Structure 1
Amino acid sequence: MAAFETHTWQSRDGLALSARDYRGDPARSTVVCLPGLTRNARDFEDLAAAIAQPGGKFGGRRVICPDLRGRGLSAYSPDSATYNPAQYLDDTLLMLADLGVEPFVAIGTSLGGLLTLLLASVAPSRIAGAVLNDIGPDIDPAGLARIRGYVGVAQSYPDWDTAARALAGAQADIYPDAAPADWLRLARRMMREKAGAIVFDYDMAIAEPFAAADGTTPAPDLWPLFDTLAGRPLLVVRGGVSDILSRETADAMVARHQGAQLLTLPGIGHAPTLDEPVARDAIARLLGQVA
């Protein structure tokens, strides 16, 4: 695993938050990797190391990978209502200020992609480029219903091998070509050891506000936020069988954004890991367009 420093900062409501800081060329735009709903900074550990590698095809850039509140090394909130996109936005803006990050390329998976749109809407001049991983302004209700079915359901396993087999059983349709070693690596990204058991590495209370938004209230129009990315390099990554980002929405995104690129990964569901070789190549090409 590549070396990184652990950076901590404090939210406005007093939580200690954490991020991985992979040091790279300070003269180049930083990359900020934003994880999905139940995920954490470890999701990007291989990609971040590759981007930060001096002399590599990504340009040896600095990479920041935060744990959103309630995930990974960041503190759990005593108020589950703060597990919401507006709060994540505020936490992230404080992190960027604390680290002195100005122009940056955002790589956002799922919730992290929505957070990318929010960042672009409030600080468009700071976004040098973006990768939206299996997320867009229109979200498929079927995928949201599936996610609501498992988020916040506490599970534990006696050892890592059992955890990896359980993960493979639950997500084989998302990563059909994954080998046992891949499932173990995914399990170690998504879970942690606690009191002699293997458990998912997030506060189960993140499900409470997510479950409350059960589709009875009309979803906000996110297309104006997406439009704030105009004029910047953009890569849209879609799992070919994603139940979150439809083919129609992905096509509409690239049609609306001149110069945007769409990468579809056949057979993969929500969401691609970005460890796929073709995804790495596409990200390298996007970074090649950014100073």
Structure 2
Amino acid sequence: MPSHAPRLSTVQCLSPAGLHQMAYAEWGDPENPRVLVCAHGLTRCGRDFDALANAMANDYRVVCPDVVGRGQSSWLSHPGGYVVPQYVADMVTLIARLGVASVDWLGTSMGGLIGMGLAGLPDTPIRNLLLNDIGPHIEAPALERIGQFVGIPKRFASISEGADYIWSISTGFGPHTREEWIALSEPLLKADGGGYVLRYDPSIGAAFSTAPPEAIVAGEAMLWAALAAFAGRTLIVRGEQSDLLSRTTVEQMLAHAQHARAVEIPGVGHAPTFVHADQIEIARRFFEGYAD
């Protein structure tokens, strides 16, 4: 497989507090009308998808944004802006920049919530939607687990030490070689005062401690409605050992969605990384329209 170097760009987006920059990496022919947007999880960044993008760049223009507050993107001045509606608005701006009428979407965890939010809008630009270990309902133990590490300040003496810490909170990603894990971890770390820190705004975790129960219920209802409204094809990918997306929720999603099927990846929890060939093939077959 040939190796493709990404092009790195930014796009200016608007929030109620003002303007901010969203960074994105792009692979493949910039004139290719077949665009695949890959959106990452809560504390991750767009470079999570380097392996997938390399594998699909001959057929797709693959675009992997750093959601605001993460990676190379700006931090918001108000923590209340770190919510799905803002992320959806930013993605609409990104797609307008790309100059295409429609995109395919692969969303891991939070990236899948963004995808659902956008897919449920009238005249959505999303054509096919892959939801990677995420649904409208998130299991409470997973939220508690995530809340234990999001926004907690950490400092590391080296990239290797940082990678070890990230692995300690990410074992659900499943088996990876050390080389693969360093590649997944290095973009999440930035040099700071002789050491390294995590490359995200600690305020992204504010929603875990400040969202009232009624807001959580309303947000889930909105996502169920969005999933039901989407007329395109949906693939629900679940890690067999996931503590975030239950099999019961998957069954409910299949009943709500108009055109959906599901696949479970053995030996993985939350969430499959789409680094390995078998997982990449799941995405390729879905987006290219194969019936399994």
Asked whether the two chains share a fold, i.e. TM above 0.5, the reply is yes
In 2, the alpha carbon distance for the partners of 1:271 and 1:67 equals 18
How does 1:193-204 map onto structure 2 within 5 Å?
193-204=191-202
Amino acid at match of 1:113: G
TM-score, normalised via structure 1 length = 0.89
Amino acid at match of 1:227: A
Bigger drift between 155-164 and 215-224 goes to 215-224
In 1, the alpha carbon distance for the partners of 2:93 and 2:75 equals 17
Contact 2:132-2:272 at 8 Å conserved across structures: yes
How does 1:1-291 map onto structure 2 within 5 Å?
2-12=4-14, 13-24=18-29, 26-52=31-57, 54=58, 60-172=59-171, 174-213=172-211, 215=213, 217-220=215-218, 221=221, 222-230=223-231, 232-257=232-257, 259-289=259-289
For residues 171-219 of structure 1, the C-alpha deviation after alignment (integer angstroms, 9 at most, x for no partner) is: 33x1453333333223214323223212211011111233212646552
- Sort the Cα spacing of 1:176 and 1:205 in 2 relative to 1 into closer, same or farther, 3 A: same
Bigger drift between 78-87 and 274-283 goes to 274-283
In 2, the alpha carbon distance for the partners of 1:61 and 1:237 equals 21
- Sort the Cα spacing of 1:287 and 1:175 in 2 relative to 1 into closer, same or farther, 3 A: closer
In 2, the alpha carbon distance for the partners of 1:77 and 1:138 equals 26
- Sort the Cα spacing of 1:184 and 1:3 in 2 relative to 1 into closer, same or farther, 3 A: closer
TM-score, normalised via structure 2 length = 0.89
For residues 241-270 of structure 1, the C-alpha deviation after alignment (integer angstroms, 9 at most, x for no partner) is: 111100111123234446533221123111
- Sort the Cα spacing of 1:188 and 1:275 in 2 relative to 1 into closer, same or farther, 3 A: same
- Sort the Cα spacing of 1:176 and 1:116 in 2 relative to 1 into closer, same or farther, 3 A: closer
Q: CA deviation at 1:125?
A: 4.3
Contact 1:48-1:63 at 8 Å conserved across structures: yes
Contact 1:175-1:267 at 8 Å conserved across structures: no
Percent identity, aligned pairs only? 32
Contact 1:34-1:107 at 8 Å conserved across structures: yes
Contact 2:47-2:184 at 8 Å conserved across structures: no
- Sort the Cα spacing of 1:122 and 1:229 in 2 relative to 1 into closer, same or farther, 3 A: closer
Amino acid at match of 1:40: C
- Sort the Cα spacing of 1:189 and 1:263 in 2 relative to 1 into closer, same or farther, 3 A: farther
In 2, the alpha carbon distance for the partners of 1:177 and 1:22 equals 26
Contact 2:173-2:273 at 8 Å conserved across structures: no
SS at match of 1:131: strand
Q: CA deviation at 1:98?
A: 1.9
- Sort the Cα spacing of 1:123 and 1:43 in 2 relative to 1 into closer, same or farther, 3 A: farther
In 2, the alpha carbon distance for the partners of 1:16 and 1:238 equals 32
- Sort the Cα spacing of 1:171 and 1:115 in 2 relative to 1 into closer, same or farther, 3 A: closer
- Sort the Cα spacing of 1:124 and 1:267 in 2 relative to 1 into closer, same or farther, 3 A: farther
Contact 2:51-2:275 at 8 Å conserved across structures: yes
- Sort the Cα spacing of 1:37 and 1:175 in 2 relative to 1 into closer, same or farther, 3 A: closer
Q: Which runs of 5+ in 1 are unaligned?
A: 55-59
In 2, the alpha carbon distance for the partners of 1:4 and 1:162 equals 27
Contact 1:29-1:128 at 8 Å conserved across structures: no
Contact 1:69-1:76 at 8 Å conserved across structures: yes
Computed over aligned residues only, the root mean square deviation of the Cα atoms, in angstroms, reads: 2.1
In 1, the alpha carbon distance for the partners of 2:79 and 2:124 equals 32
In 2, the alpha carbon distance for the partners of 1:171 and 1:9 equals 30
- Sort the Cα spacing of 1:171 and 1:18 in 2 relative to 1 into closer, same or farther, 3 A: closer
For residues 3-44 of structure 1, the C-alpha deviation after alignment (integer angstroms, 9 at most, x for no partner) is: 222222212221122111223374542101111111111111
